[in-house]
Structure 1
Amino acid sequence: MKKSGQKKRNKKVWFGIGAAVVVVGFIGAKTVFSSKEVEPEYTTYTITEMASLKLDGQVSFLDTRDIFFDPSLGKIAEINVENGKEVKKDSPLLTYNNSDIQATETEQANAVNRNNLQVQQAQENVNLATQKYNEALNKVAVAKQKLNTAKEAEEKETLNAEIQQLNEAVSAANSEVAQANQALQLANSDAVGAANTLEQTRGKVNTVVTAPIDGQVTVDASAMSSTDKPVIKIATQKKNIQGKVTEYDYDKLQTGEEVTVTTVGSGKSAPGKIVSIAQTPIAKNEGNPVVSYQFTVEGDFPWAEGLSTSIAVPQKQMIIPTAAIQKEGEKEFVYVYKAGKAKKTPIETETNLGRKVVKSGLNWKDQVIANPNKELKDNQDVQVAAND
């Protein structure tokens, strides 16, 4: 009886061990197969904004004007502004005096006086000729009255001869009046012309040069007789930033684009806007073959002229990997990963500097499958690994 009980206990032990081995084997196999099933086949790329493009710039006055000595105007007689002062547009800056023209003015003034005398003389001649004409007319009238009352034939004949002579005198006097008036007109014309010439000349004797813009003036009195440097420099209080971009980044800039400008030394920042981009390149340096272009940023920049700056240009282009794009004929699409599924999404792209830029179809933060294959279908359940 003891041996029979012992055998039963041994069978139970071996049965338990066998069952445990089976369970362990099943769990191990399941673990192996499960690890193969959950290994993701696809990776995703998240659509995010690129880092800002950093470009060099320099603080510059928005507008500056240099006023040089102009020898054709004569000598500078007076500087009408003080160094460092603010001026308004059209304010007087310099007064010139031209001694050569002043001598000409004197000559022309004398000519005007002579012309005025000629006018007076011509007017007197007109008056005398007119008086002589009127007297001749009166004599004709008196002779005609006598003729009307004359009774004797001999007297009438004498009066008729006298009237004929008087009419000839009237005609001659009338011609003198006409000639005198013509001389007067000519004298008046000469006088007016001489007066106009004198007025123009007087305007050149003293010439005032005015400010072309509002701004602050810098005066250099040592340049009053030199054409090599400005006598006065006017600079507006507003400043802009003159930036430089290479040919490789030229297409990344757009007029009207908002940027952030930071001074290199102090790290002070201010917002700005690109207002112009040059189409003509800056002259190359011998040691640098890369073509560069100048662009202008406007804003409120209260910094000293010439300070170096860094211009941060946001890159808002939506870039995706070329491998993520699939085609159906001429149309492009990608698979957007959402809620465990691959959603087929039509897109439009363009190529810029070798990169694919999305024009429409996607949003920021979308996750696209970066390595689709031909087996991938719309709305397919997928497991992915992030790769952005």
Structure 2
Amino acid sequence: MKDRKKTLIIISAIFIIAILFVIIFFLNHNKQNVNKNNIKYDVYTIPSQQNIFLDGEVQYSKKVNFTEDTTKGTIDKINVEDKQQVEKGQTLFTYKNEQMIEQYETLTQQLNNIQTQSNTISSEQNNMQVSGVNSEKSVQQQLNDIKDKRYTTISAPFDGIISITADNEDNTNKIVLTLIDPKKQVIASASEKDILKLKVNQKIKISVYGTNQEFNGTISSISTEPSQSQVTQGNTNTSSNLIQASGANVSYYPVYIDIDNQQGIYPGFHVQGTTVNESELPKIPSSSIFNNNGVKFVWLVENKKLKKVPLEVEKYNSTYMQVKSGLNFDDKIIKNPSDEMKEGNSIDTASSGN
């Protein structure tokens, strides 16, 4: 009985050992298949384009203060009213120059006297007649010179809305009126580190600090002069708080941005613009590039499978290359590929990293 029991124990032990061998065999077999078909390699994700941030302010696209010019005389008549909409070329106000008017009347009287005297001179007095003709020409020339200085008309340089306020003192100059183009724009500030990364017609995303409103914009112009307390564009003098307190050794430049949205924002609203360096190229490790008879390519990871992608590159530094064609930002590639890799191989992207 004891021998039989002992035999059963031995048989059971042998059976269990056999099962363990079978399990180990299948595990090793599956592991080989995993290693063969689902190779774990270092997957490199190409970094996204670096954002460029611009702080700015919503302002009118055009705003002109017309200050009184005493050299033209005194204000004779203002032809427009506060908040009136005017068109380009429309008369805004006129100057009257009393001194020029008086001088013009005096010269006119002189010319009349010369002409009267000229008519009474006999045909024998040729010398006097020539002298009278020369005097007449001289006076007439003086009249022509001051004719348009008696009254000076000031016209609107663009379509806009008139603003006339009681508090119209600008330093020592009296502001007659202000013409405003109600279309709004953003005047932003770009540092010298970013200014060369921007270009005209580049798209920018605008975020309003106070309302969290977002809309699109397009760079219309970029100044090559550092920001000052007053930013001048054409004939437009626009106040701007673009001087940066931080970075004393860094210059900032005004960037003018046309905006799609004109509703729900007012001049003075502070905003942030976000864009990218459109000339920036994707950068990849030099170790990821294969060279096959002069044709450079990398292994792209697409849907967890390998894909051979030819590309055009140029040197960036001792470690990285810039991709001119073949790859995009955020693509995933094999950082250190091997000769055994084949098109269609499965890749465990869980091993990815930069």
**2:257 is equivalent to residue 312 of structure 1:** no
Q: In angstroms, what is the RMSD of aligned CA positions?
A: 3.7
SS in 2 for 1:15: helix
**Aligned partners of 2:340, 2:28: CA distance in 1, in Å?**
25
Deviations 1:58-85 (A, max 9, x none): 1121122221111211122222221221
SS in 2 for 1:237: strand
Tell me the TM-score normalised to structure 2 length: 0.76
What is the CA-CA distance between 1:361 and the residue it aligns to? 0.9
Relative distance call for 1:248 and 1:382 in structure 2 (3 A) is farther
What is the CA-CA distance between 1:356 and the residue it aligns to? 5.5
**Aligned partners of 2:270, 2:295: CA distance in 1, in Å?**
47
SS in 1 for 2:15: helix
**Aligned partners of 2:59, 2:303: CA distance in 1, in Å?**
53
**2:260 is equivalent to residue 300 of structure 1:** yes
Which residue of structure 2 aligns with residue 195 of structure 1? 140
Structure 1: unaligned runs, 5 residues or longer: 127-175
**2:10 is equivalent to residue 14 of structure 1:** yes
**2:219 is equivalent to residue 274 of structure 1:** yes
**Aligned partners of 2:226, 2:107: CA distance in 1, in Å?**
54
Relative distance call for 1:198 and 1:250 in structure 2 (3 A) is closer
Tell me which moved more, 306-315 or 80-89: 306-315
Larger Rg: 1
| Aligned partner letter, 2:23 | I
**2:184 is equivalent to residue 239 of structure 1:** yes
**Aligned partners of 2:107, 2:321: CA distance in 1, in Å?**
78
Deviations 1:176-223 (A, max 9, x none): 3xx54x644553453344234224424212222222222112224665
Q: How does 1:246-261 map to 2 (within 5 A)?
A: 246-261=191-206
Which residue of structure 2 aligns with residue 86 of structure 1? 85
Relative distance call for 1:338 and 1:276 in structure 2 (3 A) is same
SS in 2 for 1:191: helix
What is the CA-CA distance between 1:322 and the residue it aligns to? 2.5
More strand by share: 2
Tell me which moved more, 45-54 or 71-80: 45-54
Query: Is the 1:49–1:318 Cα contact (8 Å) retained in structure 2?
Result: no
Which residue of structure 1 aligns with residue 154 of structure 2? 209
Aligned match for 1:361, one of 317, 326, 331? 326
Aligned match for 1:345, one of 287, 309, 315? 309
Tell me which moved more, 324-333 or 197-206: 324-333
Relative distance call for 1:104 and 1:383 in structure 2 (3 A) is closer
SS in 2 for 1:22: helix
Relative distance call for 1:236 and 1:186 in structure 2 (3 A) is same
**Aligned partners of 1:251, 1:331: CA distance in 2, in Å?**
33
What is the CA-CA distance between 1:305 and the residue it aligns to? 1.0
Query: Is the 1:238–1:300 Cα contact (8 Å) retained in structure 2?
Result: no
More helix by share: 1
Which residue of structure 2 aligns with residue 385 of structure 1? 349
| Aligned partner letter, 2:143 | L
Relative distance call for 1:285 and 1:48 in structure 2 (3 A) is closer
**2:294 is equivalent to residue 326 of structure 1:** no
Which residue of structure 2 aligns with residue 58 of structure 1? 57
Which residue of structure 1 aligns with residue 234 of structure 2? none
| Aligned partner letter, 1:11 | T
Deviations 1:149-173 (A, max 9, x none): xxxxxxxxxxxxxxxxxxxxxxxxx
Relative distance call for 1:301 and 1:363 in structure 2 (3 A) is closer
Relative distance call for 1:380 and 1:300 in structure 2 (3 A) is closer
Aligned residues between the structures: 329
| Aligned partner letter, 1:307 | F
What is the CA-CA distance between 1:237 and the residue it aligns to? 1.6
Structure 2: unaligned runs, 5 residues or longer: 229-242
Tell me which moved more, 320-329 or 288-297: 320-329
**2:248 is equivalent to residue 291 of structure 1:** no
What is the CA-CA distance between 1:224 and the residue it aligns to? 8.5
**2:118 is equivalent to residue 119 of structure 1:** yes
Query: Is the 2:304–2:349 Cα contact (8 Å) retained in structure 1?
Result: no
What is the CA-CA distance between 1:97 and the residue it aligns to? 1.8
What is the CA-CA distance between 1:287 and the residue it aligns to? 4.6
Relative distance call for 1:315 and 1:59 in structure 2 (3 A) is same
**Aligned partners of 1:247, 1:200: CA distance in 2, in Å?**
50
**Aligned partners of 2:138, 2:41: CA distance in 1, in Å?**
96
Q: How does 1:36-75 map to 2 (within 5 A)?
A: 38=35, 40-46=39-45, 49-50=48-49, 53-75=52-74
**Aligned partners of 2:169, 2:274: CA distance in 1, in Å?**
44
Relative distance call for 1:259 and 1:377 in structure 2 (3 A) is same
**Aligned partners of 2:86, 2:144: CA distance in 1, in Å?**
30
Which residue of structure 2 aligns with residue 152 of structure 1? none
Tell me which moved more, 32-41 or 335-344: 32-41
What is the CA-CA distance between 1:308 and the residue it aligns to? 0.7
Relative distance call for 1:357 and 1:252 in structure 2 (3 A) is farther
SS in 1 for 2:226: coil
SS in 1 for 2:182: coil
SS in 2 for 1:238: strand
What is the CA-CA distance between 1:374 and the residue it aligns to? 5.3
